[in-house]
A and B are shown apart, each in its own frame.
Chain A
Amino acid sequence: MSAATVRFILNGEVVEAEVVDPTRTVLQFLREDMRMTGTKEGCAEGDCGACTVVVIEIDRSGDGLELKTVNSCIQFLPTIDGKELITVEGLRGSEGELHPVQQALVEHHASQCGFCTPGFVMSLYALYRTNDDPSRQEIDDALAGNLCRCTGYRPIIAAAQSMYEQSDDWDAKDHEVQLRAIGRDDSLEINHDGRRFFAPRDISMLAELYECRPHATMLAGGTDVGLWVTKQHRELNTIIYTGRVRELLEQRVSGTHLEIGGAVSLADAIPLIIEHYPGLTEMFRRFASPPIRNAGTLGGNIANGSPIGDSMPALMVLGASLVLRKGVDQRELALDEFYRSYQVNELQPGEFVAAIRIPLPDDGVIASSQKWSKRFDQDISAVCTAYRLQLDGDTVTDFRMACGGLAEIVKRAPACEAAVNGAAWNADTIDSACDALASDFSPITDMRASADMRLVAVQNLLRRFWLETSGEAPQTVYTYGR
């Protein structure tokens, strides 16, 4: 059996949307259908945060709640089926009094034009719910996806620090009861004027659906597919949503690998990865923004195959492989054999990324990844590098380097690796490695950086990595003074 309507909770009330265009965004639904205009559109691409809303669902363990922010402007409405949606209109108390988050913003003069404010309210609300005493850095991280052009942020930070002075009347039990009441195990299937949306619940159903409809659009977090609709105005006739497929939402540590399901969100996958590879912390901290990481998936980042996707250089050097599934067949392919050319990969029609397997670190392995962009937070890398290094004394026994932003796909740097492997890990080797990088990559000039300076940057980033491993580099500017 499958359901044909989208059912969710909106600010405490159950909503059942009977007929819905599968690519209608949550923001369009709120503003145009519900006439709830508190949530704003600033960019329609998930980069400004004016549209931020909070989504609550039963967590993976099945006995708690998960509460997170998402960008409603690029989230398709059917993806919130079975979940609870909280918008800025839903925060005030029963007497109409402002929520402590809202009150703190007023008291600290933290709104000027006010257009970004509802988005900040929701990001701060999520922080209020999930962190009792955030540091400045945690506040910065929580707000990395919200742009304010008026205040300069100081009063917003002040509000974030003082919002805990009052408590609200949150009762997790109420939300859980309500969520369980609307929950259903069956899959969702919408047919709207011939346009189809499928949300299967298990991997065999997904595999079968996709094999029969290889031209369908696979939708995971929607952080890229959403823009096909809002920016490119593409018509997506058949969508298969992976976000409800049980097996794809699992992640675990086996004896030798981390195994991350193809639909696990970046927000869930990142802590597991950096637990084993702490050298990736800074890159992942700067990776997109909380609402994007909450929706976007590691599998989506990989399958999408952008040459500037930030997860791939690291996964490539770590020797990650992909579990690919088509119908009942499954195969495993090394990530560095996955990409052929610009946005062309090895996936067969009807085949999808079921899981990502990342080897656990061998003893003494050093892994690191660096982002080079105009802004620290929520910026697309002009260059992204990753390294995996194993030393025996001073001699390099295994060195791998991969880069994004330097070619039409993310790729390894074979000449550079060759210059380093077997050599002494010293300045001379790094000099030759830097020279070799020039033969590995012929970058282009675009709005993020010029070809020349991309090459200079990647060479300097490699030098920096070397200095870091020799204990000679100071902390990065990103963490300096914070």
Chain B
Amino acid sequence: MGAKTVGKALPHDSAHLHVAGTAGYTDDLPEPRDLLHLAVGMSEKPHARVRDIDLAAVRAAPGVVNTMVASDIPGENNYGSIVKDDPLLADGLVQYVGQPVFVVAATTVDAARKAARKANIDYDELEAILDPSTAVEKESFVLPSETLVRGEPEAALSKAPHRMQRRVSLGGQDQFYLESHIAMALPQEDGGMLVYSSTQHPDEVQRIIAHATRRDSKDITVICRRMGGAFGGKESQAALIGCIAALATDKTGRPCKLRLDRDDDMIMTGKRHDFVIDYDVGFDDAGRILGIDFEFASRCGMSADLSGPVNDRAMFHCDNAYFLENVRVVSHRCKTNTVSSTAFRGFGGPQGMFAIEYVIDDIARTLGKDPLDVRRINFYGKEDRNVTHYQQVVEDNIIDDLFDQLLASSEYENRREDIRRYNEASRILRRGIAITPVKFGISFTSTLLNQAGALVHIYRDGTVQLNHGGTEMGQGLYIKVAQVVADELGIGVDQIRITPADTSKVPNASATAASSGADMNGKAAQKAAAKILKRLIVFGAGHFGVSEAQIEFRDNRVCVGDRDFGFAEFVQLAWANRISLSATGYYRTPKINYDRASFSGRPFYYYAYGAAVTEVVVDTLTGENRVLRTDILHDCGDSLNPAIDLGQVEGGYVQGAGWLTTEELSWNEKGELQTHAPSTYKIPTCSDLAPDFRVELVQNLANREKTIYRSKAVGEPPLMLGISVFHAIRDALADGDMPMPDLRAPATPEAILSALRGAEGE
């Protein structure tokens, strides 16, 4: 059966609701009678023993119904999913400014938030470590440091004709989803609880609530229809919010809602890890890397959270698209007295890629070459030089072809020449251009997470309800999976209602993360639909005495030999003949296997590729800069929905550009985050988009692996296209006097001025 809706640029299933204001987010749900609103009292110290928590004034405040501290938690006081080092409420020890210490339940949001400020907490302050470099010095780590070696890096470095070292600092990033964290818990009969949570991982929220409230998973149902953005920020962090709501409901017996104020959200919950990157590279005259030694120190904050796999991925992706024959990567997972860093689109991959791209840029500038040439000479080969430092064979390498195509369509060579001429004549404004590649591994590196489930019901009127373990955060997962199911059943997507992620419908679902949502849930849903389809075909063949091959489902109709039925009519007939019209589907990603102990194997099912050319202009007096033109070519395999995929590519690039330019996190010497609202934390605005912005998806290039309709995952990879913005800025700054500007990320006007002054000082 030919695809009918898969591959079509259908609008997001909720687009018509988004624009009308009728798409319901958790805070938009009708509020139940007796609802209590919660606020969280947070630590004011980065590291301290808590001598006393005096909540008398909190309890006396108007509207307050109840309060809660760590000792009120009946079960496990933890929401760390991998390492149990993340207390829901601080128990005697606070480890970052903003750590939840107590909870207030009141009759209104305002009353709860006002009351939460009235606590009197007595601290006994301890020494605080506030940055990763200090943590490395003091050997303060959340997890043991890891080392990955391939070849003989030391020998290669010592023999290399050229050798160079540098330290680069790379900032973190706040997810800045527009909808802050929220959960609402409702008591159910016999100890049950229903929790509406804005989460990428309902299963984990369910499990952790069960542990915290001394219940079993069977007693807890977690539902999420949609999130107002997540970007990784609602992967592990949502459990904290969900648990607080559930614990308050458990304690008060009333429905409870916790919606974090924007500032509290940014102070209390985790962000992208900032990195200190040290490299030592040896290379030949052509710029080919002979040996490289990386040392990464990342800010993990006060707990492990997802820092293990995030830093693992940084280690994996420090090759980006380049063959590193002799390499050593050391990764320190630094424990700091700041909020625990967490997942954010790319999950360590961007930091690893940023590191190697900086190295490549430095090599080119040392040798006086166009960085483009050094990138190309180091690319993975197709037949040889094609094994990663973690022993996965790169089987699907298309980066060379992709570069060829993009260089031509972006007129890179001509523009580079134009820019050279422009800069010769321009004193103050300088332009720069860069092309950077992306090769991003698709799968959870933890193999066991690569599984998914779905549930499909067909009703007697021929309409369908679709459910799967994936969550919708705006990425268009729901419409993509609906398109798959529509084609499987030969019906239109308008016959399908997409239902909220719900732990009572599909159990044990992995987080919607690692870009895997459509790959895994698409396959699971396809299998569920295929099961029912098979039953219908077997039924039809028997009932009408035709062969199974004579039955065809398409265009909302069913052809049975010469007969033709409406889909609803046929389904009704099957029901009347007692055919089950409901099925589950289950999928596990094939081929992957990976040994964490040795960092070797095949962690990734396949790679997604892309490349971007960015041109910028920089004012050397002010450091202000703008992107002038962007050209992107990105690989989505055979796209399930090119409009949705294009949106991911464009949005990812802009988000990556924000990370490396305007978005700066700042902590003061007291360990307080100073950038905790949009007034101080600056994500890109409309005018930051290049006036000339050209984005294409690679056409007619199916995924060589048997993914859903041979598509490729697209959630995270495009973020790293934004690295081209950083290198275009660096290109603009570099000249004969200063071939290698010491530019840190994010490249704010201040960072650019600092880099330029570095040159004056030399």
Contacts and interface: CB of A to CB of B under 8 A. Distances in A.
Contacts of A467: 428
Interface in A23-81: 31, 35-45, 47-48, 50
A43 B261 CA distance: 7
A472 B427 CA distance: 9
Nearest to B475: A112
B619 A476 contact: yes
Contacts of B104: none
Contacts of B151: none
B82 interface: no
Contact of B626 (A36, A152, A447, A478): A478
16 contacts: A102-B19, A109-B11, A115-B177, A118-B21, A149-B175, A149-B651, A149-B683, A152-B653, A153-B688, A157-B689, A374-B662, A456-B757, A474-B426, A474-B429, A480-B617, A481-B617
B475 to A, nearest CB: 7
Given A372-B624, A373-B749, 18 more contacts: A44-B262, A88-B21, A102-B20, A106-B15, A112-B12, A116-B178, A136-B691, A141-B687, A143-B685, A149-B176, A150-B474, A151-B651, A376-B626, A447-B680, A460-B753, A476-B624, A477-B619, A481-B691
Contacts of A380: 679-680
B428 A109 contact: no
Contacts of A31: 27
Interface residues of B, number: 93
A149 B177 contact: yes
A7 to B, nearest CB: 24
Interface in A425-482: 446-450, 453, 456-457, 460-461, 463-464, 467, 472-478, 480-482
B117 interface: yes
B679 to A, nearest CB: 5
B20 A92 contact: yes
Interface in B93-141: 110, 113-114, 117
B476 interface: yes
A365 to B, nearest CB: 24
Contact of A149 (B178, B617, B679): B178
A287 B361 CA distance: 37
Given A113-B473, A115-B179, A482-B691, A382 B262 contact: no
Interface stretch (B238-246, B314-322, B501-509, B640-648): B640-648
A152 B617 contact: no
Interface string A362-381: 00000000101111111110
Contact of B647 (A101, A137, A151, A473): A151
A446 to B, nearest CB: 7
A157 B677 contact: no
Nearest to B666: A447
A225 interface: no
A146 interface: yes
Interface in B663-691: 664, 666, 668, 674-675, 677-680, 682-689, 691
A449 B622 CA distance: 13
A464 B674 contact: no
A478 B624 contact: yes
A9 interface: no
Nearest to B472: A113
A376 to B, nearest CB: 6
Contact of B682 (A91, A151, A153, A379): A379
B620 to A, nearest CB: 9
A246 B650 CA distance: 48
A92 B27 CA distance: 23
A247 to B, nearest CB: 32
A210 to B, nearest CB: 27
B179 A40 contact: yes
B16 interface: yes
Given A114-B18, A447-B675, A150 B229 contact: yes
Interface string A142-160: 0110111111111111000
A297 interface: no
B646 A146 contact: no
A384 interface: no
Nearest to B646: A109
B419 to A, nearest CB: 13
Helix, strand, loop or mixed for chain A's interface? loop
B25 interface: yes
B685 A113 contact: no
B29 to A, nearest CB: 9
Nearest to B11: A106
A39 B16 CA distance: 15
B34 to A, nearest CB: 16
Nearest to A139: B686
B650 A152 contact: yes
B617 A150 contact: no
B263 interface: yes
B655 A152 contact: yes
Interface of B: 9, 11-12, 14-25, 27-28, 30, 110, 113-114, 117, 175-180, 226-231, 261-263, 426-429, 473-476, 617-619, 621-626, 628, 643-644, 646-647, 650-655, 662, 664, 666, 668, 674-675, 677-680, 682-689, 691-693, 695, 748-750, 753-754, 757
Contacts of B30: 35
Contacts of B180: 42
A286 to B, nearest CB: 9
Given A113-B473, A143-B686, A150-B229, A106 B655 contact: no
Contact of B19 (A111, A144, A379, A482): A111
Contact of B18 (A111, A144, A448): A111
Contacts of B654: 151-153
Contacts of B628: 480-481
B754 A453 contact: yes
A144 B617 contact: no
Contacts of A446: 666, 674
Nearest to B654: A152
B626 A153 contact: no
B677 A43 contact: yes
A121 B476 CA distance: 20
A375 B685 contact: yes
B479 to A, nearest CB: 11
B347 to A, nearest CB: 17
A467 B426 CA distance: 13
A146 B21 contact: no
Contact of B749 (A105, A117, A372): A372
A45 B689 contact: no
A112 to B, nearest CB: 4
B626 A42 contact: no
A-B pairs, top 6 by smallest CB distance, nearest first, are A38-B21, A113-B474, A115-B228, A114-B18, A152-B654, A88-B21
Contact of A457 (B650, B683, B753): B753
Contact of B679 (A47, A144, A157): A47
A240 B689 CA distance: 42
B58 to A, nearest CB: 13
A186 interface: no
A257 interface: no
A450 B623 CA distance: 14
Nearest to A145: B685
A311 interface: no
A87 interface: yes
Contacts of B750: 374, 382, 449-450, 453, 457
A459 to B, nearest CB: 9
A376 B368 CA distance: 33
A153 B689 contact: yes
Given A140-B687, A374-B662, A463 B621 contact: yes
B651 A117 contact: no
Contacts of B688: 153, 375-377
A215 interface: no
A450 B644 CA distance: 41
A233 interface: yes
B686 A109 contact: no
A184 interface: no
B707 to A, nearest CB: 22
